[in-house]
Amino acid sequence: MTERVSQAARQAAGEAARVASPPAALGAWVATPDRPDPVALLEEQAMSRIPELVPVRYGRMAISPFTFLRGAALPMAADLCAGPSSGVVTQLCGDAHLANFGLFASPERDLLFDVNDFDETLRGPFEFDLKRLVASLVVAGRARGLAAHDTRHIVHQAIRSYRDRMAGYATMHAIDVYYAHVDVAGILSYVSKPERAMIQGTVRSTAHHDAIHELGRLTTMVDGERQLVEHPPTLVRRPDVTPPLAASTLGQYRESLQEDRRLLLDRYEMRDFALKVVGVGSVGLGAFVALLLGGTEDDPLFLQVKQAEASVYERYLGPSSAASHGERVVTGQRRLQAASDILLGWAVGPLGNHLYVRQHEDQKGSAVIESMTAGDLLTWGELCAWALARGHARSGEPATISAYLGTDDAFELAMTTFAEAYADLTERDHAALTAAIRTGRIKAVSGV
């Protein structure tokens, strides 16, 4: 066991970090002449991805500055790690833009609000997650035509939400922080009446995202056998992924589960599997959906088997201690989330690919960012910051983080300054990507 550190010592560590690296220093952002070319970094990532899907990734990133930001976790990691930091470390989500939060069902089938993407998770300075969140809020706000003073207010309120929640977690017993969660009832009592419609709409949508709904959407009957329906290029079978290969991968994944969950998995038999393109930043990585059936044709289980590479932060902050990148993702998710998928696990495939596995569309839902009002975006930002605070408090030292944040608005002002500067940079980087597409430097496929 680790040596116990007193609450006073934790608080003193945060106060010392604030003196050594004041919040105002974290807000400054100027791109240096030796800043890496963001398009070159994306091209570097493409080297390890499925070649025919790389143009799809570029096409999705080219849609808008917001979709660019979603896919540009590596360029932003390079930027953040080149600048100052608080030195206060916790488990990072690593990709905490506002579209990577939402509702999902706990094992008890209660709807919770939390982070839902952990591909880039790693231990690092707590504010890195907040910087990615606030930059995404400003970029999304601009896309919605909001005035600068509105986006500043949205960022300010999100960071205040984080600061206030962290101050609360700093006074709680460690086990109470561990059990804390953000549920729908708590959200509806927290948000103002005009924004409840957005949350209630997200709840209704989430209720339809389950295996039975996916059964009719993703499968069909062929010669009396249920199988996945191909929709090239986003849902296709790959001849190089054979049934023995898939079975071997799922067999190793099974060993990463708790014993009672192995028993549950054993009630299902794998019937089909196919590559399914998901998201923006993940496009080009191997992401497969597996169809398993229980004792009847209307007892489906869909698993997502997703390739895991090194976190974008590892080249700057050092490697993960996990034995595989799939295990790194799973460990980070369990540290940060209030409740994780009961079938979350990992494997190293027969070809050496690092993978993690979870249920596909098991009552997961997120708001539509493109239709948010200013009030919706403000509320969503506060909820995202709340979820981050709970995750960081659960996996780090809440008293230390809270002491660094302080009781004034210095950190809020710093994050607002950073968010606006980085939104400007994101727009320039997006323009560079679209220029590279126009000149033929890179190929993009739109509308997929």
Question: Does residue 393 belong to any structural domain of this protein?
Answer: yes
The closest alpha carbon to 58, from 71, 73, 69, belongs to: 71
Question: Does residue 169 belong to any structural domain of this protein?
Answer: yes
Confidence of residue 324 (pLDDT cuts 50, 70, 90): very high
Confidence of residue 387 (pLDDT cuts 50, 70, 90): very high
**Do 149 and 27 belong to one domain?**
yes
Q: Which amino acid is at 338?
A: A
Question: Does residue 392 belong to any structural domain of this protein?
Answer: yes
Question: Does residue 446 belong to any structural domain of this protein?
Answer: no
**Do 288 and 417 belong to one domain?**
no
| Last residue of one domain, picked from the residues 310, 340, 364 | 364
Confidence of residue 220 (pLDDT cuts 50, 70, 90): confident
**Do 355 and 385 belong to one domain?**
no
**Do 238 and 270 belong to one domain?**
yes
| Last residue of one domain, picked from the residues 331, 364, 397 | 364
pLDDT tens sequence across 84-132: 999 999 999 999 999 999 888 777 777 788 898 999 999 999 999 999 9
| Last residue of one domain, picked from the residues 339, 364, 389 | 364
How would you list the strands of the sheet with 345-348, edge to edge?
235-236, 269-276, 287-293, 300-307, 354-359, 345-348
Question: Does residue 1 belong to any structural domain of this protein?
Answer: no
Question: Does residue 428 belong to any structural domain of this protein?
Answer: yes
Would you say residue 228 has pLDDT above 80? yes
* Structural domain harbouring 360: 211-364
Question: Does residue 380 belong to any structural domain of this protein?
Answer: yes
pLDDT tens sequence across 161-186: 999 999 999 999 999 999 988 877 77
Q: What per-residue confidence (pLDDT) applies to 42?
A: 97
Q: What per-residue confidence (pLDDT) applies to 232?
A: 86
Q: What per-residue confidence (pLDDT) applies to 208?
A: 63
Which tops the pLDDT comparison, 419 or 223? 419
**Do 229 and 137 belong to one domain?**
no
**Do 390 and 337 belong to one domain?**
no
Q: From CA 121, how far away is CA 130, in angstroms rounded?
A: 14
Q: From CA 417, how far away is CA 155, in angstroms rounded?
A: 10
**Do 272 and 354 belong to one domain?**
yes
**Do 269 and 134 belong to one domain?**
no
**Do 390 and 346 belong to one domain?**
no
Confidence of residue 210 (pLDDT cuts 50, 70, 90): low
Question: Does residue 418 belong to any structural domain of this protein?
Answer: yes
Q: What per-residue confidence (pLDDT) applies to 231?
A: 87
The pTM for the full model equals 0.93
The closest alpha carbon to 273, from 283, 263, 284, 287, belongs to: 287
Mean pLDDT of 282-301: 89
Domains identified in the chain, total number: 2
